[in-house]
Chain A
Amino acid sequence: MSKPLNRRLFLTGTLGSAAAVALAACGGGEEEPTVAEVDTADFPEGSTMAALAEAGTLTIGTKFDQPLFGQAGPDGNPVGFDVEIGKIIAGALGIAAGDIKWSETVSANREPFIENGQVDIVVATYTINDTRKEVVDFAGPYYEAGQALMVLIDNEDITGEDSLAGKKVASVEGSTPAQYILDNHPDSELVSFDTYSNCVTALINGQVDVVTTDNVILAGFVAADEENLKLVNDGETFTTEPYGVGLAKGDDDFRTFLNDTLQAAYDDGTWAKAWEDTAGVVLPTPEPPAIDRY
């Protein structure tokens, strides 16, 4: 009945210790992205940028439970690639990393958070899609992920999305991967928890058969526990998930500004550095995706 639980604390090998050092470092915030010397007058009067720069603070919605992208660090603030992107954007507005207010967004409340103005932007492994574009706008994408499957290391019978029939599939309620399972694999049983870490715990406990979400999120969990977890087919993806920065619908000036900021980060290498400091410790550095200025 009892399954040996050995989720390793230490990542084994050189990769692991590099990861530990790098993540500890970015948690400590020693190397913050540069903050631009910004004058409010640089921005068009009445624009969102001017208002934010004037206020000197930016509220960003992100996840607190996703290794490599956004996870609560020792001081309670999140660390990860999404967080670094948020800092780059804040920097371009002349706002220091310390003046950012981080707000935890769970999958189901990202659109309402933007619509109701609880947050200024959302950087939270947030897939750009048409349904969401009806209520919010997106800058980016700043990264392109894809949905994949994760199982226990000794699992042989799940070989891809075609073998999900009759299986208990865990994901987070309100996320795109959960919706994909509902729409495309109605013969499997979707079990939804409210955080990915709870999904992983349920997988290790044997309460579910497989966890599905974006490959990069799963890669973070596998990296932290290589003894027990593995990606199905080396992380084969079956969807494309472009991550965007969510903002209020119709704020085109702000969207252009965000897109310009991301483009500048691609060009001057800050984007690549942000990746290498966070997700890059376990994943290869990709080419930045082309920005979609729709």
Chain B
Amino acid sequence: MDTFLIERDMLWTAFSTTLTLAAISGAISLVLGTLIAALRVSPYAPLRALATAYTEFLRNTPLTIVFFFYVFVTPSMGFTFDYKVAAVIALSCYTSAFVAEAVRSGINSVTVGQAEAARSLGMSFSQNLSIVVLPQAFRTAIPPLISVFIALVKNTSVAGAFGVFELFALSKRLTNVYSADVIAILVGVALCYLLLCIPLGQLAGHLERKVAFAR
């Protein structure tokens, strides 16, 4: 573990990059994913089709391909992003599809009576969704959403192969320089990820039980 003492600045840079990547992409994908979920339950067929195509496409494509696309392919189509921006776009797009699915399953879990009552008060689709259904949907959707964000934290590691210096790239760099200390370095980096993921997982489990009791 001496390696990490020597390279603590580098460790901090990498750790904070992982956090920043996860936080920014998480925020963007939450907004984007909710929007997609709303389109998916809207009364207009073209919007539903658009949202379905978007989620199905991204859900079934490996993240590595999404990264390849935004880092190396879009420039040949006339759109060049900085490699850090490209990483955020790739992670946000990919994650938003899963956020949309989580929110949609939340919407499905809201009892029919709620929406019916809202309609009988004369609420429109958008009022119904934003005032009555979504707030309740999010309550159910929070545990799966947290799981999606845990996956996002782990997925930031793919950015390490596409120019961004985060925890995984750190492990590659350090194992190469301190080749006698490989296991300690990998275990150290693993602990950093667990430090982020396990508390989130516990939180999700706790909320899940709470939600289950509340109904």
User: Do A and B have CB atoms closer than 8 angstroms in the complex?
Assistant: yes
* A interface, CB within 8 angstroms of B: 1-3, 5, 107-108, 111-112, 131-132, 134-135, 170, 173-174, 178-179, 190-194, 198, 201-202, 204-208
Question: Across the two chains, which residue of chain A brings its CB closest to B182?
Answer: A112
The answer to whether A1 and B78 have CB atoms under 8 Å apart is yes
The answer to whether B83 and A207 have CB atoms under 8 Å apart is yes
Interface contacts beyond A135-B179, A192-B169, A202-B163: sample of 17 additional A-B pairs, CB < 8 Å, sorted by A: A2-B79, A3-B80, A5-B76, A131-B177, A134-B180, A170-B163, A174-B173, A174-B175, A178-B173, A191-B83, A191-B163, A193-B161, A201-B75, A205-B72, A207-B82, A207-B83, A207-B86
The answer to whether B163 and A108 have CB atoms under 8 Å apart is no
Query: For residue A111, which residues in chain B have a CB less than 8 angstroms away from its CB?
Result: 179
From B80, B162, B172, B182, A1 is in contact (CB under 8 Å) with: B80
User: Which 10 A-B pairs rank lowest in CB-CB distance, beginning with the nearest?
Assistant: A2-B78, A205-B75, A174-B176, A191-B163, A173-B172, A194-B161, A108-B176, A108-B172, A207-B83, A201-B72
Tell me the minimal C-beta distance from A119 to chain B in angstroms. Answer: 16
The answer to whether B80 and A198 have CB atoms under 8 Å apart is no
The answer to whether B179 and A202 have CB atoms under 8 Å apart is no
**What are 22 A-B interface contacts by the 8 Å CB criterion?**
A1-B78, A1-B80, A2-B78, A2-B80, A5-B75, A5-B76, A112-B182, A131-B177, A134-B180, A173-B169, A174-B175, A174-B176, A190-B165, A192-B169, A192-B173, A193-B161, A201-B75, A202-B83, A205-B75, A205-B76, A207-B71, A208-B163
The answer to whether B80 and A206 have CB atoms under 8 Å apart is yes
Query: For residue B177, which residues in chain A have a CB less than 8 angstroms away from its CB?
Result: 131, 179
The answer to whether A192 and B165 have CB atoms under 8 Å apart is yes
The answer to whether B72 and A173 have CB atoms under 8 Å apart is no
Query: For residue B86, which residues in chain A have a CB less than 8 angstroms away from its CB?
Result: 207
The answer to whether A107 and B163 have CB atoms under 8 Å apart is no
Query: For residue B179, which residues in chain A have a CB less than 8 angstroms away from its CB?
Result: 111-112, 131-132, 134-135
- With known contacts A111-B179, A201-B72, A193–B163 Cβ distance under 8 A: yes
Q: Secondary structure of the B side of the interface?
A: helix
Tell me the minimal C-beta distance from B165 to chain A in angstroms. Answer: 7
Interface residue range, chain B: 20 to 34
The answer to whether A135 and B180 have CB atoms under 8 Å apart is yes
Question: Across the two chains, which residue of chain B brings its CB closest to A194?
Answer: B161
Tell me the minimal C-beta distance from A22 to chain B in angstroms. Answer: 29
The answer to whether B80 and A192 have CB atoms under 8 Å apart is no
- A3 vs B78: C-alpha distance when bound (angstroms): 7
Query: For residue B81, which residues in chain A have a CB less than 8 angstroms away from its CB?
Result: 207
Question: Across the two chains, which residue of chain B brings its CB closest to A204?
Answer: B75
User: What 1/0 mask marks residues of chain B from 123 to 157 whose CB sits below 8 Å from any chain A CB?
Assistant: 00000000000000000000000000000000000
Query: For residue B72, which residues in chain A have a CB less than 8 angstroms away from its CB?
Result: 198, 201-202, 205
- A2 vs B81: C-alpha distance when bound (angstroms): 11
- A206 vs B78: C-alpha distance when bound (angstroms): 12
Question: Across the two chains, which residue of chain A brings its CB closest to B75?
Answer: A205
Tell me the minimal C-beta distance from B208 to chain A in angstroms. Answer: 38
Question: Across the two chains, which residue of chain A brings its CB closest to B83?
Answer: A207
Query: For residue A205, which residues in chain B have a CB less than 8 angstroms away from its CB?
Result: 72, 75-76, 80
- A201 vs B76: C-alpha distance when bound (angstroms): 10
- A132 vs B178: C-alpha distance when bound (angstroms): 10
Query: For residue A201, which residues in chain B have a CB less than 8 angstroms away from its CB?
Result: 72, 75
- A112 vs B175: C-alpha distance when bound (angstroms): 10
